[in-house]
Amino acid sequence: MSALMVVLGAAVGAPVRFLVDLELKRRFGEGFPWGTLAVNVVGSLALGSLLALPLSPELSALLGVGLCGALTTYSTFAYETVQLSRTGSRGRALVNVLAHLCLGVGSAWVGLTVAGALLG
């Protein structure tokens, strides 16, 4: 049952990631990977929040592994960072790494902390 839940969550998370990336490229151009940063930060916040909740294994598989796992993307982050560096945008590559690290980990911490506090 858990594998099916992961598939169902991923069926939502992956298209959302794709659409967010397309929209942010349309709005801001392709000079910086805003879409990847956005989905990784939102996904980290969501996963941090979910981890504070008493969820069933099935719901954890659906929302945590499936949805958040497919919404976020480490491989695209890595690829885009390398591409920025290779095309002479080393400063942007560094900003991308620092933004993902600080905002990603920070948002997971905020999600876990806030959801945990709300649960009492």
For residue 56, which phi and psi values (nearest 5 degrees)?
A: -70, 160
For residue 30, which phi and psi values (nearest 5 degrees)?
A: -110, 20
Place of tokens 């990784």: 40
Residue 30 CB neighbour total at 10 angstroms: 11
Q: Are 57 and 118 in contact (CB under 8 A)?
A: no
Question: What is the DSSP-derived secondary structure letter of residue 31?
Answer: S
| Alpha-carbon gap, residue 71 to 50, rounded angstroms | 14
Tell whether 35 is in a known binding site: no
Tell whether 81 is in a known binding site: no
* Bind-site residues: 69, 72
* Bind-site residues for Na(+): 69, 72
